[in-house]
Structure 1
């Protein structure tokens, strides 16, 4: 590990600095990629400690500079763990190395970590009228013909010749056996054998709300919108696993990797274990242990240890031991 390398996950960057000279110092990190951009961190030490964050100059920056929302903090290990947190930055356009400068007046010595957690990254639309998050532009990778998708979606939204009723925990919605069977081997089995779903033309999904079920069906029919997908990701993940809709399960898996934070990391770690999502499990454990976020949620982590699966807890502690051996 060099003093210039920045470790990253999908939205988190950490720069570990072993020491700074007592006199004037200038140090620039290696480039690191978050979103569409390569970024740099800079530390300048003179009277104060200055920290700068900016995207590298490129044609992309000139045409569409990032509009960033992020939390930046410095964690110092000298004399006990001390954390200096800058007020949250919201929707700040960053073009050059002077657009974000943080002056820390407290002298820092010994090893310290600069921690940047990106909450969102946006770009302006071509006409400059509105901004769009780079993390919700393409959450699925479908390339169906628009007219076909529109027609199939209309079959659902207008209940055109529906032949099956789905009962949820708080309502019912109509659907089409053929489409459900084509997208899910579980549904296909239901309708191919003499099960009650075939005889009664009813499917009971009591562990799902009607709103989540409508999002599930919209995905199956190819016309789900971004916000509904993001709102119901965990219920969609459960349904995708239960009904063996593998592409939806993978879409949920990839999406859940994008916005891990201290509020959701423990829940996502448990879901990663429950639904066999290896990349999500690894990212959650790295976020907690390697990036030190476990210190920010010690109380919640204590509750997690008391209630979580023993095997999963063992994996977390193996990760802790592995990181400790590296120091």
Structure 2
């Protein structure tokens, strides 16, 4: 039996364990795989029935804070055509031991199959009680900023204090400050440093952004964007960051878009990854679609994608499909 028999492949919130030959054993435990801040294990046991177990490895460092997890788990078999057995969605389940989640099968599994595990949310159980929060909403960079100075900058924007430049969006205008824009964007710096119309007229036209998206973009530049606005406007922010060369914002959008890839957004994100040269996002979208087999769940959407997407990108997807088929 090869080492690959125990390996679990992962992307941001998805894990897959490929089983080539279950008949050769009655017990198999996967290698640990990291999702969130825990190492997880999957276990297969075969007695009269087949059992699948999932559990986190709790150490002395995290045993007092076990995860509360929401997930979807299914078994996908290629025997006799692609078929899936899906467990009902598990929501907010406290996981402290190897016995907390056990899925029993009465239907025998033959041939090759995949255990497909998609984490929907991960929360930490606090020993002192209190409100639970998702670990995927923590760590936003705003908490590291210097609050007093940023509050003042935000006030300059929100109250229009001594603004000296007007930004015209597609459906409205907002006042801003040349010095702040120039400090955060080399493109704005160039506008104000050379004999361009923006320097003479004190106006910047951004006709490809709504006033709402433009305001959120400026709140990022001024350092007081909210997490909710950041998540809601990520694609608008990505476009603006690329256009005005705000690389820290582009990086933040890139990392954030990796965290919640699913069937409803993967094709759009793949297109944006190609358009804005985001290699990590492109790789993860390809992996999600092809290696993890989610392309079969969105066949109609993928057909529409083929008709409208860049042909070079479509070719890359098909090459990846062919590569995976050859190895399966």
Counterpart of 2:208 in structure 1 is: 207
Bigger mean CA offset, 124-133 vs 105-114: 124-133
Alignment of 1:1-327 (within 5 A): 2-21=4-23, 25-124=26-125, 127-140=128-141, 143-327=144-328
Deviations 1:133-188 (A, max 9, x none): 22221243884322222222222223222222222223322211100011111111
Whether the 8 Å contact between 1:139 and 1:226 is mirrored in structure 2 is yes
Q: How many positions carry a matched residue from both structures?
A: 326
Deviation at 1:60, TM superposition (A): 4.4
Output the aligned Cα RMSD.
1.9
Whether the 8 Å contact between 1:140 and 1:251 is mirrored in structure 2 is no
4+ long deviations beyond 3 Å: 124-127, 139-144
Deviation at 1:124, TM superposition (A): 4.5
- Give the match's secondary structure for 1:3: helix
Whether the 8 Å contact between 1:44 and 1:50 is mirrored in structure 2 is yes
- Give the match's secondary structure for 2:258: helix
Alpha-carbon separation, structure 1, partners of 2:303 and 2:289: 13
Whether the 8 Å contact between 1:185 and 1:244 is mirrored in structure 2 is yes
Bigger mean CA offset, 66-75 vs 135-144: 135-144
Deviation at 1:117, TM superposition (A): 0.9
Structure 2: 5+ residue stretches without partners: none
Question: TM-score, length-normalised on structure 2?
Answer: 0.93
Structure 1: 5+ residue stretches without partners: none
Whether the 8 Å contact between 2:257 and 2:281 is mirrored in structure 1 is yes
* Cα distance change of structure 1 residues 202 and 269 upon mapping to structure 2, 3 Å threshold: same
Whether the 8 Å contact between 2:123 and 2:134 is mirrored in structure 1 is yes
Alpha-carbon separation, structure 1, partners of 2:162 and 2:101: 57
Question: TM-score, length-normalised on structure 1?
Answer: 0.94
Deviation at 1:210, TM superposition (A): 2.2
Alpha-carbon separation, structure 2, partners of 1:315 and 1:109: 32
Deviations 1:80-117 (A, max 9, x none): 21101112222222111122222222221111100011
Bigger mean CA offset, 309-318 vs 153-162: 153-162
